[in-house]
Amino acid sequence: MQRVLITAGAGGIGLATAKAFLAQGARVHIADINADAVNAAVVEQENLSGSVTNVADPLAVAQMYRDVVQELGGLDVLVNNAGIAGPTAGIAEYDAEAFSSVIAVNLQGTFNVTQQAIELLKDSPAASIITMSSLAGRFGYPNRIAYSTTKWGLVGFAKTLAMELGPMGITSNTIHPGAVDGPRIMNVFEGRADVSGRTVQEEIDAALANQSVKQFINPDDIAALVLFLAGPHARTISGQMFPIDGDSKAAV
């Protein structure tokens, strides 16, 4: 039975992934900054436990791992899913404090969670770290410089983990979703429309024009990819980038 920790696991991709692991008989612990969402998910799902956690705070992360040990007894899979988008603005107008906030969650937070996971993961017979990057971690992303910078940074982070942790039998890969269906991407399109002067529908059409497959990404499909990368047939897959984006040509 796999023991799984998913950050930002109370909604969206994180919750879809939690449900997918649970359906395969895993025990799952979610960490999320949204207390109401954590409580709702834990009540709804059997074999699911949770912590209210700000990943940017190392002390909060330490408490989360005390919860993980108490609830799961160890760890086999870490899914680094926590991240924030930040504002939509060109670099000349981009707020410096907002830039720092995105770095604090997306990069520093991922570092905090991963660093404190190693002692648990190295005791697993088949440990995996899956880090959620983005389409913006493969291309430049106009008006989203903080987000793109962090998502590119996670690639180097995960590749370095693969090299450092591979001798312990721990794999490390990144997943790069495109536009994921749901309320979050609609907020992005609304922000783009505010900057561009186009309508939200025009921004949606422009995004889909960039893809060979003209549809947004189903969170369940991302969850299925996470399960594969954490599963027995992916034990020699490490240090790799996995786009799931409808064959997008750019992040615009």
Contact present, 18 and 45 (Cβ < 8 Å):
yes
- Is 59 in the same domain as 75? yes
pLDDT in tens, 64-94: 999 999 999 999 999 999 999 999 899 999 9
User: Which of these is catalytic: 147, 159, 214, 249?
Assistant: 147
Contact present, 24 and 227 (Cβ < 8 Å):
yes
19 is catalytic: no
Supply the pLDDT for residue 76.
98
* Residue 136 DSSP SS3: helix
Q: Is residue 250 part of a domain?
A: no
Q: Is residue 9 part of a domain?
A: yes
Q: Is residue 120 part of a domain?
A: yes
- Is 131 in the same domain as 209? no
User: Which of these is catalytic: 19, 65, 141, 151?
Assistant: 151
Contact present, 194 and 156 (Cβ < 8 Å):
no
One-letter amino acid at 28 equals: V
Supply the pLDDT for residue 232.
97
Q: How many CB atoms lie within 10 A of CB 35?
A: 13
249 is catalytic: no
Low-confidence ranges of the chain (pLDDT < 70): 252
If we measure between CA atoms, which residue out of 163, 102, 157, 164 comes closest to residue 130? Answer: 157
H-helix or E-strand spanning residue 183 = helix 183-196
Q: Is residue 123 part of a domain?
A: yes
pLDDT in tens, 213-227: 988 999 999 999 999
Supply the pLDDT for residue 184.
75
Supply the pLDDT for residue 212.
92
* Residue 46 DSSP SS3: coil
The whole domain housing 192 covers 182-216
Supply the pLDDT for residue 27.
98
Supply the pLDDT for residue 64.
98
- Is 28 in the same domain as 113? yes
- Is 141 in the same domain as 39? yes
- pTM of structure: 0.93
